[in-house]
Amino acid sequence: MSGTAARAAFRAVCRAYAHLALTLMMAPQLVFAFDLHELADMLRRVEASNVAFEETKHVSSLTIPLVRRGLLQYVRPDRLEMRVESPFYERVEIVGNDLTIETKRGKRAIDLASQPAAGAWVASIRATLAGDAETLNRHFHARVSGDKARWKLALTPRDRDFAALIKRIELDGAQAGVTGIEIEETGGDRSVMTITPIDAKLPAKQR
pLDDT digits (tens, 9 = 90+) for 109-157: 988 888 777 777 787 778 888 888 988 888 899 999 999 999 999 999 9
- What is the predicted pLDDT for the residue at 199? 60
Measuring CA to CA, how many Å separate 72 from each of 7, 75, 77, 85, 101? 68, 10, 15, 11, 14
Q: How far is Cα 45 from Cα 24, in angstroms, rounded to an integer?
A: 34
- DSSP secondary structure letter of residue 202: P
Global pTM reads 0.74
Q: What average pLDDT does this structure show over 184-198?
A: 90
Average pLDDT, the chain: 80
List 201's β-bridge partners, or say none.
48
Q: How far is Cα 59 from Cα 115, in angstroms, rounded to an integer?
A: 23
pLDDT digits (tens, 9 = 90+) for 72-121: 998 888 888 999 999 999 999 999 889 899 999 999 998 888 877 777 77
**Of residues 118, 183, 189, 129, the one with CA closest to residue 154:** 183
